[in-house]
Amino acid sequence: MVLSLHMPGSFKSLIELGDFYMGTKWFTPNKEISKTLYTTAGLVVFILFLAVWSILSYGGLVNPVFLPTPTAVLATAADLLIHGDLLSNIGISFTRVLAGFLAAAIIGIPLGILMGSLKIMEGAFEPIIGFIRYMPASAFIPLLILWIGLGEPEKMSVIFLGTFFQLTLMIMDVTKNVQNELIEVSYTLGAKKFQVYTKVILPASLPGIVDTLRITFGWAWTYLVVAEIVGASSGLGYMIMQASRFLQPDKIIVGIITIGILGLLTDMIFKGIYRASFSWMRKDGF
Amino acid sequence: MAANAPKLEIKDVGKVFKTKKGETTALEKTSFTISDGEFVTILGPSGCGKSTVLRIVAGLEEATSGQVLLDGLEINGPGPDRGMVFQSYTLFPWLTVKENIVFGLKLKGLSQKERDDVAGHYLQLIGLEQFGGHYPIQLSGGMKQRVAIARALANDPKILLMDEPFGALDAQTRNIMQEVLLKAWEESKKTILFITHDVDESIFLADSVYLMTARPGRLKKKVPISLERPREFSVKGTPEFAKYKEELLYLIREESLKSV
């Protein structure tokens, strides 16, 4: 009873203490904070994550067979990079992701634009694509192996199946969101149907298309491991599977982090393209 | 073509929407004509179908009855002979002010030199010489609508259709825009059909005000405005202006009372 009466007071003083040290605006919804603080917050969480990992591994709290130390992972990464085949695995995996993704984009972008602008195309393709996209791409692997064997086309097809349907539907939505008045005003300025595509719909939806590609390329990386788990003899996914078989958690972690870094890099490249290409979307024009 | 033949002729144009509950008449059969170089405003309460009239003339909507003749020829779908300015901002955001103005000219295949000349002329007309290289996102609402007017005029249409183009602007900007538009009209001698629900605006701009009834919309009365031109802001304070305003307000009130 005494304790419960006392609690609110101590709790309140804790918050006041927090306010005093951290400033109230940190925890005010939607309030802007300084750029340095923003970056520091991200860094702190990263360091916390590493700290937990270090305590668990260096402290001997977890068997190194399951969780290697950060230094062991770094050493393995360096070793795989210099003496091993990490680079060639990256090359092979990147090629597969890129090829599967490009095929999905080359078909998906025009199809999505047509579906977003022509009701007949939407009526024809939306139901079947909406249906297939709920079928897991990985479940198609046995069928793909049966149809086209275990070679590169099979790996690329998995990535294609994993990205194509979502990508097409997202492009369709982007195209649908083009302000109708822009299309109407272009007609009153003399645009023909084909010019409405090239002069209005395409430039208006281009930022959305680039953003869709950025997001779906991220998904393509996640499908890579699925594609390389079955019947592969090279690539990052294969490397991870092999390491699991030989109880090399350090190698698994290197593989996972590598895929993460590659995904992050491609994301940054797309963001760079976006920034460089669409200065008209920003007030300052830069 | 006879000298006094109408520029635009609207013959028994009506619009009926099919809905789940049956048919809704948006616009009763309407007929009127506009002469060459005339500035006509259509004044009516919201939802009276005045925008429908304009969209039918623009070819963006199909009438369920009647026909629209421009220079004696029936219109069939949208075309560059009927320029349009919308209430919402419709500048192409990925093009600069200058590129927006010459959008239609580029489609027509005019040379860079010709386009530059036209763009320069209209930038000066709307008072935005310094903003040719700006993107729409960097402009105020009033500036955007100035560019939209310049873009429509630069294409040299036979008639300019304006659908409450100043409806989204604040009162002060709106007054300035009305003067900018009159200046552009006097310079270009275009025929203009202008939709508004603002009584002052309809009088200040027009040679003739067409008053529309509430839904189902139909033309109630044509009120010719014989205020002297060129008009300036000060004309809004004159007794003549007040007389027109009183008449139109009375007519609108009569209409409103009927529907209450």
Burial of B68 (0-12, 13-18, 19+ CB in 10 A): buried
Burial of A154 (0-12, 13-18, 19+ CB in 10 A): buried
* Nearest alpha carbon to residue A104 among A29, A158, A23: A158
A120 to chain B, minimum CA–CA distance in Å? 20
pLDDT tens-digit profile of B42-69?
998 877 788 999 999 999 999 999 999 9
Tell me whether residue B190 is in a domain. yes
Contacts of A68 (CB under 8 A, 6+ apart): A57, A76, A249, A250, A253
Which two tokens mark A131? 């249906």
Q: What domain range includes position B79?
A: 52-240
B65 sits in which H/E element: strand B65-70
* Nearest alpha carbon to residue A132 among A160, A156, A102: A160
A2 or B185, higher pLDDT = B185
Find, in chain A, the residue whose alpha carbon is nearest to that of B109.
Answer: A190
Measured CA to CA, the distance from residue A141 to residue A217 in angstroms comes to 20
Whether residue A10 is predicted with pLDDT greater than 60 in this model: the reply is no
Measured CA to CA, the distance from residue A52 to residue B3 in angstroms comes to 90
Tell me whether residue B27 is in a domain. no
Q: How many CB atoms neighbour CB B24 within 10 A?
A: 12
Tell me whether residue B219 is in a domain. yes
Bond into A207 cis (ω within 30): no
Which of chain A's residues have a Cβ under 8 Å away from the Cβ of B138? 283, 285
Contacts of A8 (CB under 8 A, 6+ apart): none
Give the percent of chain A with pLDDT over 70: 91
Tell me whether residue B211 is in a domain. yes
Check CB contact under 8 Å for B108 and A190: yes
- In this prediction, residue A232 has a pLDDT band, given cuts at 50, 70 and 90, of confident
Find, in chain A, the residue whose alpha carbon is nearest to that of B97.
Answer: A280
- Going from the C-alpha of B125 to that of each of A88, B42, B173, B192, the distances in angstroms are 64, 25, 17, 17
Contact B83, B159 (CB under 8 A): yes
Which CATH number belongs to the domain containing residue B195 in this structure?
Answer: 3.40.50.300
pLDDT, residue A14, reads 58
pLDDT, residue A173, reads 97
HSE (side-chain half, CA atoms, 13 Å) at A62 = 13
User: To 5 degrees, how large is the angle CA B103–CA B106–CA B112?
Assistant: 115
- In this prediction, residue B253 has a pLDDT band, given cuts at 50, 70 and 90, of confident
B233 to chain A, minimum CA–CA distance in Å? 30
B169 sits in which H/E element: none
Contact A112, A56 (CB under 8 A): no
Distance of CA A219 to the CA centre of its chain: 5
pLDDT tens-digit profile of B98-140?
999 999 999 999 999 999 999 999 999 999 999 999 999 999 9
Tell me whether residue B141 is in a domain. yes
Check CB contact under 8 Å for A186 and B137: no
HSE (side-chain half, CA atoms, 13 Å) at B220 = 24
Name the 3-class secondary structure at B76.
coil
pLDDT, residue A4, reads 46
Check CB contact under 8 Å for A282 and B107: no
Find, in chain A, the residue whose alpha carbon is nearest to that of B161.
Answer: A188
Q: Which of A178, A189, A205, A280 to mutate to test the interface with B (most CBs of B within 10 A)?
A: A189
Whether residue B26 is predicted with pLDDT greater than 60 in this model: the reply is yes
pLDDT, residue B1, reads 45
ipTM of this predicted complex? Answer: 0.93
Burial of B144 (0-12, 13-18, 19+ CB in 10 A): buried
Asked if B79 reaches chain A (Cβ–Cβ under 8 Å), the answer is yes
- In this prediction, residue B18 has a pLDDT band, given cuts at 50, 70 and 90, of confident
- In this prediction, residue B38 has a pLDDT band, given cuts at 50, 70 and 90, of very high
DSSP A24-48: GGGGSTT----HHHHHHHHHHHHHH
Amino acid code (one letter) for B123: L
Dmax over CA atoms of chain A, in Å, equals 82
Domain total in chain B: 1
Enumerate the β-bridge partners of residue B208.
B40, B224
The CATH-assigned architecture of domain A74-281 is Orthogonal Bundle (1.10)
pLDDT, residue B43, reads 93
Check CB contact under 8 Å for B92 and A181: no
Tell me whether residue B42 is in a domain. no
- Could you state, in order of their start, the residue ranges of all structural domains in chain A? 2-58, 74-281
Measured CA to CA, the distance from residue B43 to residue B194 in angstroms comes to 9
Measured CA to CA, the distance from residue B193 to residue B8 in angstroms comes to 10
Asked if B140 reaches chain A (Cβ–Cβ under 8 Å), the answer is no
Which of chain B's residues have a Cβ under 8 Å away from the Cβ of A198? none
Measured CA to CA, the distance from residue B52 to residue B64 in angstroms comes to 11
pLDDT, residue B32, reads 93
Contacts of B103 (CB under 8 A, 6+ apart): A186, A189, A199, B92, B95, B151
Mean pLDDT of A227-240: 89
Tell me the pTM. 0.86
Tell me whether residue B253 is in a domain. no
Measured CA to CA, the distance from residue B151 to residue B146 in angstroms comes to 9
* Nearest alpha carbon to residue B186 among B209, B205, B162: B205
- Going from the C-alpha of A233 to that of each of A49, A152, B225, the distances in angstroms are 33, 11, 86
